[in-house]
Amino acid sequence: MSGTEVSLALSVFLACAVEAVEAFTIVLAVGSTRRWSSALAGVGAAALALAVLIGALGPAITSLPIGVLRVVVGGLLLTFGLQWLRKAIMRAAGTKAKHDEEAIFREEAAEAAAAPASDESFDGYAFAISFKAVLLEGLEVAFIVLTFGANQHDVGLAAVAAGAAVLVVLAAGLALRAPLARVPENGMKFAVGVLLTSFGIFWGAEGAGASWPGGEASLGPLVAVVLLAALAMVAELRSRPRAPRAAAEASA
């Protein structure tokens, strides 16, 4: 595998694992509080909806001319990457509350317990919440898999990386039967933000007509530059005097 392929697989794996952990927490909370059969039916329906979406969008994306594809995909990946990276920088600096799977699990479970009970064999609440969680978390991953795969002409590799991430998260979740709170989710999000931003810049600029010195070999140094810039921003944010509101949020 080339360096670009390794970066692609790593980006997709990390992004997919993070989203899978978040979806798993919600499904676990709803399933254990309400009814497992309905929660799992919601998961299945969302997976089916995602498969239909990928089946419909996949050929359309891969049939675009490579220049157009790189501009569109680069722009979208850069947008996603910058959003992920901004939040990750703020979490790392302590100006935004970190993602806490145990707290989210408790909150979701409390809401599920408070919702009206269902006497029938099908629990609409459990189905709807599970469906929404898997669909929303899966949508971004499906997009990343399609765009990364199409740009590198290797949708198969991206799909394998995504599938592996889901399997790893599922195996860990089933073994523990608890929220995966020990997964270094915030660090993974930081890495995904750096990688998505770097790929977005690389493909977007290339599609716009720029020629990178050394071609694909410049992707490594670009990732390093984005990482160092992000770490510098974390250090700068940490050194600032904390506003009362930010401090309250960070400690929440």
Partner 1 sequence: MIRRVALAVWDFVVGDDWRLALAAVAAIGLTAIVCALGLNVWWLAPVIALAALRWTLRPGSAGSHS
What is the binding site for partner 1 (CB under 8 A)? Answer: 71, 74-76, 78-80, 82-83, 85-87, 89-90, 96, 139-140, 197, 200-201, 204-205, 207-213, 218, 222, 225-226, 229-230, 233, 237, 240, 243
CB closer to partner 1 out of 179 and 200: 200
CB closer to partner 1 out of 182 and 215: 215
Smallest separation, CB 83 to partner 1 (Å): 4
Q: What is the DSSP letter of 153?
A: T
Three-state SS annotation for 184-199: CHHHHHHHHHHHHHHH
Quote the CA–CA distance of 171 and 152 in Å, as a whole number: 29
Quote the CA–CA distance of 83 and 117 in Å, as a whole number: 38
Smallest separation, CB 171 to partner 1 (Å): 29
Quote the CA–CA distance of 163 and 9 in Å, as a whole number: 11
CB closer to partner 1 out of 82 and 103: 82
- C-beta separation of 88 from 189 below 8 A: yes
Smallest separation, CB 40 to partner 1 (Å): 25
CB closer to partner 1 out of 135 and 150: 135
Smallest separation, CB 221 to partner 1 (Å): 10
Smallest separation, CB 117 to partner 1 (Å): 29
- C-beta separation of 213 from 73 below 8 A: no
What are 216's two structure tokens? Answer: 């694909």
What are 15's two structure tokens? Answer: 């992004």
Smallest separation, CB 207 to partner 1 (Å): 7
CB closer to partner 1 out of 149 and 200: 200
Angle in degrees, CA 10, 15, 20, rounded to 5: 125
**3-state DSSP: the chain helix, strand, coil percent, rounded to 5?**
80, 0, 20
Smallest separation, CB 93 to partner 1 (Å): 8
- C-beta separation of 39 from 30 below 8 A: yes
CB closer to partner 1 out of 210 and 248: 210
Q: What is the DSSP letter of 13?
A: H
CB closer to partner 1 out of 178 and 246: 246
Contact partners, residue 58, CB within 8 Å, separation at least 6: 146, 150, 155
